[in-house]
Structures are given as structure tokens and as C-alpha cells.
Amino acid sequence: MRLLADRVGHRYGTTEVLRDIGIAIGGGEIVCIVGPSGCGKSTLLRMLGGLEQASEGRVLLEGEPPAGSLNPITYIFQDFALLPWRTVEGNIRLVLEDHKLGATAMRAIVDDVLERTRLKDFRAALPRQLSGGMKQRVAIARALAVRPAVMLMDEPLSALDAQTRELLMDDLVELWTRERFSACYVTHNLAEAVRLGHRVHVLSRRPGRIRETVEIDMPLAERAERAAELEAMQRHIWLVMREEARAADRELADAG
Amino acid sequence: MALTRRQLGAGAAAGAAFGIVRNARAASEKVAIGILPLVSHAPTIIAAARGYFAAQGLDAKLVTFQAAEPMAVGIASGDIDFGVTAITGGLVSLADKGAVKIIGGSLAEKKGVDGQKVVASNAAYAKGLTDIAGLRGKSYAVTTAGSSFEYVAYKAAQKAGFPASDITYRPLQTIPACIAAVKTGQVDAWDMLPSIIAILLHDKAAHVIAAVQDFIPDYQVTTVFTSTRNIDKRAEVVKRFLAGFSRGIDDYDAALVAKTMAPKEVDAIVAEIHKYVFAGMPLAKARPHITNGVMHVNKGAALNVASVADQLAWLNANKLVPAGSTMKKLVDTSFVKTF
Amino acid sequence: MPDEASGPAPARAVAVREVPFRGGGFRPRTNSYVSWAVFAGLILLWEAGSRLGLISPIALPAPSQVLGALVDLARTGMLWKNLSVSLMRLGTGWVLGSILGIAVGLAIGLFTIARAALMQLTSALFAVPKIALLPLFIVWFGIGESSKIATILFGTFFPAVIATYSGVDNVDRNLIRMGQSFGLSWGSIVRKIILPGALPAILSGLRISSAIAIVLLVAAEMIGAQYGIGAYILQAGSLFAIDQLIAGVTILAVLGLLISWVIARAERRFLDWRS
Ligand SMILES: Nc1ncnc2c1ncn2[C@@H]1O[C@H](COP(=O)(O)OP(=O)(O)O)[C@@H](O)[C@H]1O
Ligand SMILES: [Mg+2]
């Protein structure tokens, strides 16, 4: 199954936020979207996830979702979006309860995702007892539980400190290596983009258009060791983005 | 005592009176008089408006209350000097504590003059509640336990020859609530001043089944009272108040009861009353409410001691007042004529 | 041990002093011993004042007299009689008012039509003093139990409505988005995300409405009540029996404390997920 944006554009009132975006997500690849803040990345992701309607163009699904997928297009949020009144296990069960799975099947899924995200010991913990990194692991476990065809991740690591971010990137790579998933990964952090992306789309400042697309062939598992090569790639992307970021920064300052 | 504020005031007043007794009419003494916005309080209003208090060397200020209880408490605390109200459990209780005393009579039932009526709700009337004997087993609106309404019902039962406990009392706290309950037939019976009964009858919302004067002749409905402190320390002022008040009663009687006064003068008096009573209505509309259903007020604020004693006995018998409340504590008979 | 050159010990030649501490204060704590002692001390002072004649018996009865009135109430069995009818009125009125209020508040929080139709109306009616409507309540609901329950119901309904819809309004929109993004049904989102998210606000609304219910008890029992703590207080007031008056008020105060304690327990039980 592939998720396609077909010449998508959007405006909020008179402000044009996105223009003529065409991207495709699928095939077990991670597509990264980078761009200066306010360029419409989150808006684009909401449209891909069906949470908002594009004012121009269409968002399309190509092919059938894989069998057993409970929620083909699944989100991971920057602020984790965990229910504070539910335990780790309860938060995962929340997204399964509507599917009438039966107690054993549900339990098997919960066990599996807790195992994969190494959260077994935190089953009964409440979100407030967890660090930011642990909370995002719970959110990832919750997303994995519904067996998504495409994961939409909106700056999932931005709320975390640098070390935790490194650890979670390793975790994501490992999860992906064990069982490939397709994802659209939005970030403003170029290091994340070159670590996780098979393809990186660089958006211009508002209204966001695709300025450049960079393909990265290097296998995800090797990227931690080949940091120097990635560094060059990251530098290239930065050069493309720098002018846009500077202009966007000034725009925002003016607007404020 | 906690009420030093007033004691200081009283002391100063006593000192002042000492020096200027002969000259009292020139240096006027401040008194605050509590009234309710009812026609029965007209004598006070008239006396104030026509300068009868001023002529007695009193600088009178009228303070309007919406209920009798706070007025009684206001007198006990010394914020008000004189008031007129029915004899209630609250008043007797304050008298028992040595705070207030009855010094004269005001509103009273009198043969030949309009008086309070007992009414039945339309529904109860239709079912045969047409006289006081029919009150047996019926419900009766009262404001609070121990209020004059309960006394009237008790006297009605006594006259009709059945125990008062056969009547179910419904405490409704306020007059508007009682009116609403009668109008909707939630209670079977009630008694009230003629002016308000007239409104009920006009709305065809009730039927008169008895005049109160038929079973409580010469009923002393309201009395004049003041604080014991005033009696002890300012007896002179009390006398002057009663003198001014009596002239107010004379005018009230001439204008509204005996109707011997010239119409022009009556108009002026009605206009004065209207400043306090039915003030929310235009004068033309308020006028009939003020002039109809006016009750007798005892000349010279004379006091029917027998009636007061009967009411006190009833309160005592029903344990609505502190045990051992006596006429001696309740009434000071030295100021007005008694009968 | 670090030596002098590299360690943090101060140099000897220069005048040295400690940085003054200025971070204290502004953090009052509760201390139940102190509050009980103050309470007991006040009562003793009050009793002494009454006995010495410093406090007029018209202004305040002595605590011992109030206690006497309470004992009288208990001995004659009137305490339970008054309390039971009042608790029935309070409980029924408050529970019904709260349930209806939460339902209407949810509707306002969830549906555009309900919000458009009811929000302003609720704010307007909330401010109406229910006591002023008593004569009308008699016409509408009679002088039996229903008008008393209705008074309390009306008084507690509006705070519950307002607390509920503002609670719903304040539920983290991201959580609702999350629910939608996982394809949760509408009912699941309401039951599992919106209601628990609004619960803190609803509970604090109930805390306020319980106090309002107690305040309104006296008003409710103005309407033809023979028994009840409110009726007892009203009668004591009209007879100027201030020992009974204060005794009745004390009972209401204790009732208020009890209810607030129960709600605090409920908060601890249901809102333990808050930090
Ligand atoms: N619901 C909305 N209504 C109006 N403007 C919005 C809304 N959401 C986002 N915007 C505006 O659209 C632009 C893009 O927002 P967003 O997609 O959040 O940017 P990014 O995620 O790239 O930082 C910003 O200028 C933002 O202020
Ligand atoms: Mg964003």
C-alpha cells in the first residue's frame, strides 16, 4: 500500500501554507520531510493522515492495506499524546479496544509491542512516572500495536534531549530492521533526517514547496558507523535550506 | 456588654439631656424608627412627614424593613429606637433577654372597622371550607412557627371547638409565598390584613370565610416597642416619641378610618404614605390599595394588655418562647393608657 | 581531598563570607495540631467572654448553650428527624442537579447546536437568585418535597453545567486528535478521552455545587417545611433562639466539612494520575 500526495496545496484563510506538493510513501521506506519552522510540515502530515482536508489537490491511497492492519495510517505525535489516566498497558489497549479482538489476541499484541519496545517492566506505570524518552517509546509501541501500513511521525523526537534522541533513533532503526515499516517522518533536525530517511524532501519557507529531494542509499543499520559520509549529506541539505530558514526566521519575527 | 457603641451614645445623650432638658425642643434628639412598607405603619409616616416628631424635639429618621424580625433585632442592638410589629416569639425572646419592651399598642381589631380576614383557597372553598369549623383537618399557611398566623388559627379552632393541633401548619416564611400557596390551592386557608385580602379577592383567588374580630374581639395585632435601654436612660425621649406618634394616629384615623378629614388633606397624607407603601406603583394605582381595607389603630397608642397576655400565654403553652417569659418582662405599662 | 590550589576552598587573603540564603518563605504549610489548637482556643475564649458578660447574649450565645441546644436536639430525636429529611432533599437535589448538569454540560461541550442554544442561557440563568423565585417555585412545584428538591436541583445544575463544558473545552485537543487518528469510535472518544479529561473540572464543580446545595437548603426549607435543619434554623431565627440558630448552623458547617472530605477522597481516588 502506498500513500500519495497529488499536487496538494493548502491555505488558512488568506495565508497560503502549502503549494503543489507531490510525494509518495510506501514500500517499507522512510521518507523524511525537513523545512524551516512554519512552512507547513505538520499541516501536510495532518492531510496525509486524514485529519485535515487539503484545499487543493488530493491525498490518495494506492493498493489495499496489508491483511491484519488495524489502522493503516497511524500517527506518532511530538507530544506523545498519551492518556495520563491510563497506564502504559492501558494506553496501548485503548487503540485495540474498539476492534473486538478477544482477550487473548489483545494480550498477545500488547505483550509483543511491549517486548519490541523493551517496555515490559513498565506495563503498569502511569505516564507521569516516565521520562520523555520512555513516553515516546510507549507512543511507538501503541502505534506498532495497530500494525500500520504507514506511520506518520511529526517531530517525534523534538521534545527530547540530545542523548535520548540518539537512543531512540537507534531503537527506531532496530525496529525498522526487524520488521520494515513505511513512514513519513517530519523533522527540522537534519541529523535525524539523514540517519533515518531513505529519501529527504526539503521544503521551502511558507508557502511550502518541495525545494529539493535527496535520496540516501546507505542502509539504515550502517549509518551510525558511517557518520562522516552522512555529515556531508547533512551539510548539503543545510546549504539548500539555510536561505529559506533565514528568510522564514525573519518573516516570523516580523509577524510577531 | 458588647454593645458599647450604643451605650456610649446613650451616655452622651443622657448627659446632653441633663443640660438642656428645658431647651429640649430646640436641640433635637436623634431617633431612628423602624417601619414596614404596610399601611398599618402609616401613623409613623404621617407623624414624621407632618413634623409631629420634630415638634417634640425629635430628629426622626425612618428606616424601612422588609420583615418584623430584623426590626426587632435592630432595636435590641440599638440601631433602631422604636418599632411597630406583631407580638412574635422572636420579640418575646428578646424581651426575655432584657433587650426590648412593649410600650404601647397600635393596630387592633375593632367592631365596625375593617379588620383581618380568614380566607379559604378556591379549591378548599369548593370542597366546603366555608367557615372556621371547616378548618379542622385542613392546612393553614403561616410565615413561621410561633407567628401571629398560628395564633389566629389557634383562636379560630378554640372558637369552633376543636383542638388547634387538628390544623396542619405550613411555614412559608414570606407573605408572597403564602399568597402564592393560597392562589394555587397548595394550602387550604390563611389570614391576612384586609388590604392584601382585597387583592386576593379582586383576583378571585380566594374566599373570605371569617373576620378575625368575630373570634378574637379587640385583638391587639401590633404593638409599639423600644429597647429597655431607652426606657431606662431616655424615658423622656420615649414619652415624646409616643406624643408625636399619637398625633400621627389621630391624623391616620381622621384621614383613612373615620374619614372626617378634608379630601385635599387626605390626598396629601396618601401621597406621603405612598413614598413608603406601594412605592413601586404610580400614585393613582396605589391609592386604592392604601385607602381600602384600613384597620383601626388605638388612639393614644393605648394598649390592650389582656390581649397581649393571651398571646403570651399561647406562646408559653407552645414552648415558642424561653420558659418563664412574663408580662412584666414583656410590657412596660407606664407610658400609655391600658385596658 | 583536593589541595588548596585546585580545590573549592576559599583563598585566605580575601575576605570571605557565605552567600546569604534568601529562598525561604512563601510556602505556607498546614499543621492540623495548630489548626485544632486555634479552634479550641477560640471556643474557650468565646465561652469565657460569654461567662464574663463581655459578649452580649443577644450578640452570640455561649458555646455551652449551643452545645446544650445540640444535646436537646439529639435527646428528643429531632436531630435525626431534621437531618434525615434534609439529607434526603440535599442528596436528591444535588445528585439530580449534578447528573442533569453534567449531561447538559457534555452536550454543550460536544455539539454545536447545544452550545449555540444553551451556553448563553446557562450563564444568564446561573446568575438568577433562586431564592427570589420561591413564590414561583410554589406555583410550579407545590409546597411538598418537589419544590424543595427543585430549589437545590436548580442551584446545583448550573455550576455542574458550567464546570462540565469548560472541562470538556479544556481537554487536550491533541488527545482527541490522537483518538481520531487511531480510528476510535465517537463513543470511545467521549467515554475514554473527553470524560476522564474533563473529570478534574467536573469534580471541582461538584465541590462548589455541594456548598451551594447546603446554602440553598435553608432557602429550600423556607417552603412549607415542618422538619429539616434549614427549617430548624429558620424557626430559631424567627423565635430569636440564637443558641438553636448557631446549633443548626454548626450542623450545616459539619455537613459541609464531611461532603468536602468525601469529595477530596474521590479526587484522590479518581485523579491519582495527576502529578
Ligand atoms: N489551524 C490553523 N489555522 C490557521 N493557521 C494555521 C493553523 N495551523 C497552522 N497554521 C499556520 O500554518 C503555517 C504552517 O504551520 P505548520 O504546519 O504547523 O508548520 P510546521 O509544522 O512546518 O512548523 C504556520 O504559519 C501556522 O501558523
Ligand atoms: Mg510542526
d(C-alpha B7, C-alpha A23), whole Å: 92
Mutate to test the interface with B, among C232, C239, C244, C245 (most CBs of B within 10 A): C239
pLDDT for res B21: 42
Strands B107-108 and B296-297: antiparallel
Say whether pLDDT at C190 is over 50: yes
- What would the pLDDT profile of C12-51 be if each residue is shown by its tens digit? 778 888 888 888 888 888 778 888 999 999 999 999 999 9
> What domains appear along chain B, each with residue ranges and CATH number?
16-110+220-330 (3.40.190.10), 117-214 (3.40.190.10)
Residue with cell 378610618: B257
Per-residue buried b or exposed e for A164-184, using 16+ beta carbons within 10 Å of the residue's own CB: bbbebbebbbebbeeeebbbb
- Per-residue buried b or exposed e for B115-126, using 16+ beta carbons within 10 Å of the residue's own CB: bbbbbbbbebbe
Query: What is this model's ipTM?
Result: 0.89
CA B148 – CA B293 distance, rounded (Å): 19
> CA-CA distances (angstroms) from residue B210 to B147, B152, B199, B207?
19, 11, 17, 9
pLDDT of residue C253 exceeding 70, the answer is yes
B91/C11 Cα distance (integer angstroms):
84
**Average pLDDT, stretch A124-147?**
94
Q: Say what the pLDDT of residue B242 is.
A: 97
Ligand nearest to the CA of A38: 1
**Could you tell me if A51 lies within 8 Å of chain C, comparing CB atoms?**
yes
Structural domains of chain C in order of their starting residue, each with its CATH number: 63-270 (1.10.3720.10)
- How confident is the model at residue B70, as a pLDDT? 84
Residue C5 is predicted with a pLDDT of: 54
pLDDT at A93: 96
Mean pLDDT, rounded, for C121-145: 85
| Cβ-Cβ contacts under 8 Å for C189 (sequence gap 6 or more) | C176, C179, C180
The one-character DSSP state at A217 is: -
pTM score above 0.90: no
The winner for highest mean pLDDT among A246-255, B193-202, C97-106 is C97-106
Could you tell me if B295 and B115 are in contact, meaning their C-beta atoms sit under 8 angstroms apart?
yes
pLDDT digits (tens, 9 = 90+) for B292-324: 889 999 999 999 999 999 999 999 999 889 888
Give the model's confidence band at C189: pLDDT under 50 very low, under 70 low, under 90 confident, else very high.
Answer: very high
pLDDT at B279: 85
Cross-chain Cβ contact A51/C180 below 8 Å: yes
Q: In chain B, which residues have pLDDT < 50? A: 1-26
CA C176 to each of CA A82, B173, C110: distance values in angstroms, whole numbers, following the listed order: 11, 51, 12
- Show the beta-strand stretches assigned E in B65-132: 82-86, 100-105, 107-108, 117-121
With contact defined as beta carbons under 8 Å apart, do B182 and B119 qualify?
yes
The answer to whether A120 touches A141, Cβ cutoff 8 Å, is no
Output the CA A155–ligand 2 centroid distance in Å.
7
CA of A154 to the centre of ligand 2 (A): 7
Asked whether residue A209 carries a pLDDT value surpassing 70, the answer given is: yes
Handedness of CA A31, A36, A39, A42 (dihedral sign): positive
More confident position, C143 or A219? A219
Q: B210 - beta bridge partners?
A: B118
pLDDT, one tens digit per residue, over A48-107 is 999 899 999 999 999 998 888 999 999 999 999 999 999 999 999 999 999 999 999 999
Q: Give the CATH number of domain A2-65+153-255.
A: 3.40.50.300
Beta-bridged to residue B189, according to DSSP, are B120, B140
Mean pLDDT of chain A: 92
Q: Counting beta carbons within 10 angstroms of the beta carbon of residue C30, is it exposed (0 to 12), middle (13 to 18) or buried (19 or more)?
A: exposed
| 3-class DSSP string for C103-145 | HHHHHHHHCHHHHHHHHHHHHHHHCCCHHHHHHHHHHHHCCCH
* DSSP at C27: -
Cell numbers given for B36: 414596614
Say yes or no to pLDDT of C262 above 90: yes
The CA distance from A195 to A181, in Å, is 16
Is A128 touching C (CB cutoff 8 A)?
A: yes
- Distance of alpha carbon C176 from alpha carbon C166, whole angstroms: 16
Q: CA B307 to CA A186: how far, in whole Å?
A: 94
From residue A178, give the alpha-carbon distance in Å to each of A118, A146, A151, A157: 14, 17, 16, 21
Cβ-based neighbours of B317, under 8 Å, separated by 6 or more: none
Cis peptide before C135 (omega within 30 of 0): no
Q: Which helix (H) or strand (E) holds A60?
A: strand A56-62
Q: A248-255: which pairs have CB atoms within 8 A and are 24 or more residues apart?
A: A248/A36, A248/A37, A248/A38, A248/A39, A248/A205, A248/A206, A249/A36, A251/A38, A251/A205, A251/A206, A252/A37, A252/A38
Residue with cell 588548596: C4
Q: What residue owns the CA closest to ligand 1's atom 3?
A: A12
pLDDT exceeds cutoff 80 at A16: yes
Which chain B positions have a beta carbon within 8 Å of C57's beta carbon? 97
Is B192 strand, coil or helix? strand
pLDDT in tens, B77-130: 889 999 999 998 889 999 998 999 999 999 999 999 999 999 999 999 999 999
Q: What are phi and psi of B278, to 5 degrees?
A: 55, 35
Radius of gyration of chain B (CA): 20
- Break chain A into its structural domains and give their ranges: 2-65+153-255, 84-148
Binding-site residues on chain C for chain A (CB distance < 8 A): 172, 174-175, 177-185, 188, 192-193, 196, 199, 273-275
- Asked if B143 has any chain C CB less than 8 Å from its own CB, the reply is yes
- Helices of type H across chain C: 32-51, 63-75, 78-110, 112-126, 134-141, 145-169, 173-181, 186-188, 195-220, 229-238, 242-270
Q: Which band of pLDDT confidence, cut at 50, 70 and 90, is reported for residue C155?
A: very high
Mean pLDDT for chain C? 89
What pLDDT score does B23 carry?
45
pLDDT at position C10? 67
Q: Do C273 and A84 touch (CB under 8 A)?
A: yes
pLDDT at residue B2 in the model: 42
Nearest to C240 among B93, B174, B183 (CB): B93
